Amino acid sequence: MVTGRSAFHRQSTVETLAAVIHEEPNRLSDAELERIVRHCLCKRADERYASMEEVIRDLRECSELTSGPRSGANFKVLLRQGKRPRVAIPVLLILLAIGTLGGCVG
């Protein structure tokens, strides 16, 4: 959502899932935003944020948000939509699937 492209998209679903489990996403230009995204995408569940409140707190503190979006993403809209069930529920399901796959592999 931040970059406008999938971090792990591959030719097939199996290749995409393998990339999610074994590969790291491409680097971002903003170091603080990079730290937040990498924290969200940690392979081990115990290394990721414990709650969306923590993610929102860090995003609000991120200098990228206060200086305006350079990537064309509107972070205020993303944060607002992230609180809606039609957005939050699929995101949570994806995170649960990634956590489950990570647990099966590790």
* Domain parsing of the chain, residue ranges: 29-105
pLDDT of 92 reads 67
Whole-angstrom distance, CA of residue 18 vs CA of residue 43: 12
Q: Which residues of the chain have pLDDT under 50?
A: 64, 69, 106
Three-class DSSP category at 49? coil
CB atoms within 10 A of CB 14: 9
State residue 102's pLDDT score. Answer: 60
